[in-house]
Amino acid sequence: MTVITATAPAKVNLVFEVGPLKSNGYHDVNSLFLALDLREEITVSGALAGTGISIFVKGDGLPSRHVAAVPTDSSNLVAKVALLLSQKLGIETPDIQIDILKRIPVAGGMAGGSADAAAMLVAFNEYAHREFGTTRLSTAELMDVAAELGSDISFCVLGQLAIGTGRGEQLQPINSLPFETHWVLAISPQGLSTPSVYAKFDELVASSEFSDLSQVAGSVTSVEALASVLSNGLQPAALALMPQLESLIEEIEGLGALKAIVSGSGPTIAALCSSKDQAIEIAKTLNERGIFALTAGSPALGAKLEA
Ligand code: C5P
């Protein structure tokens, strides 16, 4: 039986600039995306004839609500990937079992659902090749399919460091940072919905200026320089919806992190640390205080097959 496993990374937006709402319901963004080595894992295997797509979810190091919140029906992005990719490859959608191993918080602003979709694109591309002899799509082709399903999925396919424009799906890969990064991720007890954060942004901010992100990335030669450029245009909106995040940011910076920001649409707080040891220490302190915290770092590759 063919069994294929693939993984894909979480993301943090090092810089996130958001333009005005457009008539298509989306905002143009200008973002510096960094992939983190916190990876979702997807396994695709065959299932009994006529059973369609079955989805099973397990958590790895996450509170149980993150597993409970993941839909196991056709609304899950991994099911949408199976349908769309089957269509593109010219095959009937096969009877398959999809096992999701979740490590990225749900509705946390770290592209957890998008990473599932990215890993599924890579896994199913290979599964269909092995089972049905379809020609494997290239990474660039998989990124085009990704863009049809969501704004962050293409970056989870690509990984590493990239500038994202359009809805965030038009990506220009850039050279990796010349140093490793170490982060503490403080996870809130509730999630935030991305559309509600964008709606709050429209009300409060409406639009932010776009800067030259290749120049910004080029100026980041040390972790301290990175700390000084971290910014998130959606942060005021996320803080308005969850005011308690403001004191969490202060608390984490008070523990010595170089800089803490809301990750993407939040509510995860991503705090850049000066070393791995410091990140582990701060996460330990937060966990002792009852705040669920993880550590993660870069560099991290995009979606890939696992042996
Ligand atoms: O593309 P994705 O499904 O991740 O987007 C979820 C929602 O977030 C969109 O329906 C839209 O309301 C909002 N969004 C946006 N501008 C973007 C990306 C997402 O307004 N660039």
200 lines ligand 1 (CB under 6 A): no
Q: Does 28 map to a domain?
A: yes
Active site residue 152: yes
Give the global pTM. Answer: 0.97
Same domain, 129 and 200: no
Q: Does 306 map to a domain?
A: no
What is the reported pLDDT for 307?
85
Q: Does 307 map to a domain?
A: no
Mean pLDDT of the chain: 97
Distance 198 CA to ligand 1 centre (A): 8
Distance CA 282, CA 64 (A): 23
Distance 265 CA to ligand 1 centre (A): 10
Q: Binning pLDDT at 50, 70 and 90, where does residue 275 land?
A: very high
Q: Per-residue pLDDT averaged across 275-284, rounded?
A: 98
Same domain, 105 and 43: yes
Same domain, 59 and 108: yes
Choosing from 116, 152, 200, 259, the catalytic residue is: 152
Choosing from 11, 102, 200, 259, the catalytic residue is: 11
Test site for ligand 1: of 194, 202, 210, 232, most ligand atoms within 8 A of the Cβ = 194
Q: Which residue has 């308005």 as its token pair?
A: 240
* Segments forming the whole domain that contains residue 255: 181-298
Kindly report the CATH number assigned to the domain that includes residue 45: 3.30.230.10
Distance 209 CA to ligand 1 centre (A): 19
- Identify the domain boundary among 174, 197, 221: 174
Q: Does 303 map to a domain?
A: no
Distance CA 156, CA 171 (A): 11
Q: Does 125 map to a domain?
A: yes
Q: Binning pLDDT at 50, 70 and 90, where does residue 117 land?
A: very high
237 lines ligand 1 (CB under 6 A): no
Same domain, 214 and 148: no
94 lines ligand 1 (CB under 6 A): no
pLDDT in tens, 187-217: 999 999 999 999 999 999 999 899 999 999 9
pLDDT in tens, 91-112: 999 999 999 999 999 989 999 9
Q: Say whether pLDDT at 18 is over 90.
A: yes
Same domain, 273 and 187: yes
C-beta of residue 108 within 8 angstroms of C-beta of residue 191: yes
Same domain, 13 and 145: yes
Q: Say whether pLDDT at 136 is over 90.
A: yes
Query: Can you spell out the DSSP letters for the chain?
Result: --EEEEEEEEEEEEEEEEEEE-TTS-EEEEEEEEEEEEEEEEEEEE--TT--EEEEEEESSS-THHHHTS--STTSHHHHHHHHHHHHHT-PPP-EEEEEEE-SPTTSSS-HHHHHHHHHHHHHHHHHHHHH-PPPPPHHHHHHHHHHH-SSHHHHHHBSEEEEETTTTEEEE-PPPSS-EEEEEEPPSS---HHHHHHHHHHHT-------HHHHHHT--SHHHHHHH-EETTHHHHHHH-THHHHHHHHHHHTT-SEEEE-TTSSPEEEEESSHHHHHHHHHHHHHTT--EEEEEE--B-SEEE-
Q: Does 27 map to a domain?
A: yes
